[in-house]
Amino acid sequence: MTRRFKIEFKSLLLAGALTLVGALSALAQAPPAPNINNDANIGIDQKLDAQVPLDLEFTDQTGKKVKMGDYFGQKPVVLALPFYRCAGMCTLELDGMAKAFNAISSLAVGKDFNAVTVSIDPKETWTLASAKQRDYVDAMHPDRRADAKKGWSFLTGDDANIHKLAQSVGFRYVIDPKTQQPLHAVGIIVITPEGRVSRYLLGVDFSPRDLKLCLVDASHNKIGSLVDKFTLLCSHYDPTTSRYGVAIDRIIKFSCTLTVLIVGFAIMMMFRFEKQRHAEMVAQGLVPASKPKPGTT
């Protein structure tokens, strides 16, 4: 076995080992999601693969009448259902979205995906939506604001359409009889370009890694880098935590396949180098050529 072959063989083994170690290290990076379903009438039911009604009509932040389907077709969509006068959890949720959008270095809202925020309070107007959009576009990095202004929409609508949209994605809320304001859970929904529910991220603090994997998954691998797609291949979405964890069975299968390929390649290269070396030694007269088999001429 030549020195060159030994170096290549060791490099392949090292690459396989690093792949396995890197994937397993992600196992400890997924803290549990908060439990927000503490009320029978308030919560988020994960209706994976449910179809969002694309014909529902709303009003956007400019006062223009739009349909939900206007935001679908080409890109995945991040949907949020707060209300704009809320100074508590809704603000934290929107802050968390802006923070996560800024932290995803390889994907940009308005460019690679759209975000649609719909107020669940039918009394709110498009002027409130306009102010909210302005605030959160300003919260984006300067080089992302132009795309965010086009791709992060803030909508208002009537009670019937709000409820139809909320019910389609499993978002349960009630109106407080004292304050006349919605009481609701918090979390965002990632939806495919066709309008089907793909993933949920609950709470107000959204992991950029999980959001990126959700978007890559919802886009049918049309966005994201090769590293993102490989990470998604070795990850598994857990609806109970609304997070991506390491898929141990996939890693084991991948590692076994990689090991077989490396060993097979090593054996093939070994025979190739040995055959080449033998031919060189024959040419130099160091060893005799192979004798013909009995019965042949």
Q: What is the pLDDT of residues 36-58, one digit of tens each?
A: 444 578 999 999 999 999 999 99
Per-residue pLDDT for the chain (297 aa), expressed as one digit of tens each? 455 445 444 554 444 444 444 444 544 444 444 344 445 789 999 999 999 999 999 999 999 999 999 999 999 999 999 999 998 999 999 999 999 999 998 899 999 999 999 999 999 999 999 999 999 999 999 999 999 999 999 999 999 999 999 999 999 999 988 988 999 999 999 999 999 999 999 999 999 999 999 999 898 866 655 554 555 555 556 666 656 565 444 444 555 565 666 766 767 777 777 777 767 776 766 667 665 555 555
* Six token digits for residue 23: 């994937």
226 and 253 housed in the same domain: no
| Residue keyed to tokens 């994605």 | 169
230 and 279 housed in the same domain: no
Look up the domain containing 16 and give its range: 1-32+248-287
With a CB cutoff of 8 Å and minimum separation 6, the contacts of 244 are 30, 209, 210, 213, 214, 232, 235, 236, 237, 238
With a CB cutoff of 8 Å and minimum separation 6, the contacts of 169 are 47, 50, 52, 79, 81, 189, 191, 197
For residue range 49-89, list pLDDT tens digits in order: 999 999 999 999 999 999 999 999 999 999 999 999 998 99
197 and 265 housed in the same domain: no
CA distances from 133 to 44, 148, 239 (A): 24, 9, 30
Is residue 182 within 8 Å of 146, Cβ to Cβ?
A: no
Cβ atoms within 10 A of the Cβ of 273, count? 14
Gap between the Cα atoms of 52 and 165, Å rounded: 7
Record the pTM. 0.67
Kind of pairing between the strands at 152-155 and 65-67: unpaired
84 and 162 housed in the same domain: yes
86 and 163 housed in the same domain: yes
Name the residue among 70, 292, 45 with its Cα closest to residue 172. Answer: 45
Q: How many domains does the chain have?
A: 2
The domain that holds 189 is classified in CATH as: 3.40.30.10
